[in-house]
Amino acid sequence: MTALATILRHPAENLAKCSVEPLRGRADLEFLAAEGPAVVRGEGCILLEVGAPPLTAADAGRRLILLDGNWKHVPRLRARVIGNPLPRSLPSVPTAYPRRNAEGADPSEGLATVEALYLALRVLGSDDPSLLAHYRWREEFLRNVRATLGDG
C-alpha cells in the first residue's frame, strides 16, 4: 500500500505528547525522524503550509507531507523536504489542542498534526474518524470541523 501521508517529526518532539504517535504502524502512514541524512522527496506531493493556496478535492491522489514539531522548528523541518512539493493550506478550523507557547508564536491557523492529517484527508474526500480515535480532544475538534465545514 502506498502511504497517504509522510509525517516528518522533529527529533525534539515529545513522543508522549505527540498527537500522531498512536497512529504509528498504520500501513497508510509513513513516519520519519528529521535527523541524520533523512529527507523527504516532495516531487508530486502536497506539503501542508500555512498561507499556501487552499487544499481542494482536485488535489486528491497525491501523498501528503506533514511537518510534526513546534512552530519554531518548521524551517528546519521544511529544509528536509527536497524537490518541489505543491504547497497547500487547510481550511481555517480552530484547533482543539490546548496550546502552551510562551512566545505566542503559533499561527492562528495552526493545528495539532493529527488534526491537520484528518482535516486534509477529509478535504481530499476520505473522512476517516479512526485517525482521531486516540486523540484526547477528538470530540471538540470534530465539533469545530462540523461548525466550520458542515457535516459533509
Residue-by-residue DSSP string for 43-99: TT-EEE-TTSPBP-GGGTTSPEEEEES-GGGHHHHHTTEES-PEEEB---PPP-S--
Strand partners, 5: 29, 64
Please give the grid coordinates belonging to residue 144: 469545530
Give dist(CA 87, CA 127) in Å, integer.
Answer: 21
pLDDT digits (tens, 9 = 90+) for 105-140: 545 567 999 999 999 999 999 999 999 999 999 999
Strand partners, 68: 9
The whole-model pTM stands at 0.89
Q: What angle do CA 116, 92, 103 make, to 5 degrees?
A: 75
CA neighbor of 2 nearest in space, from 64, 59, 46, 80? 64
pLDDT digits (tens, 9 = 90+) for 10-63: 777 766 778 888 999 899 999 988 887 778 899 999 999 988 999 999 999 999
* Secondary structure of residue 15 in the 3-state scheme: coil
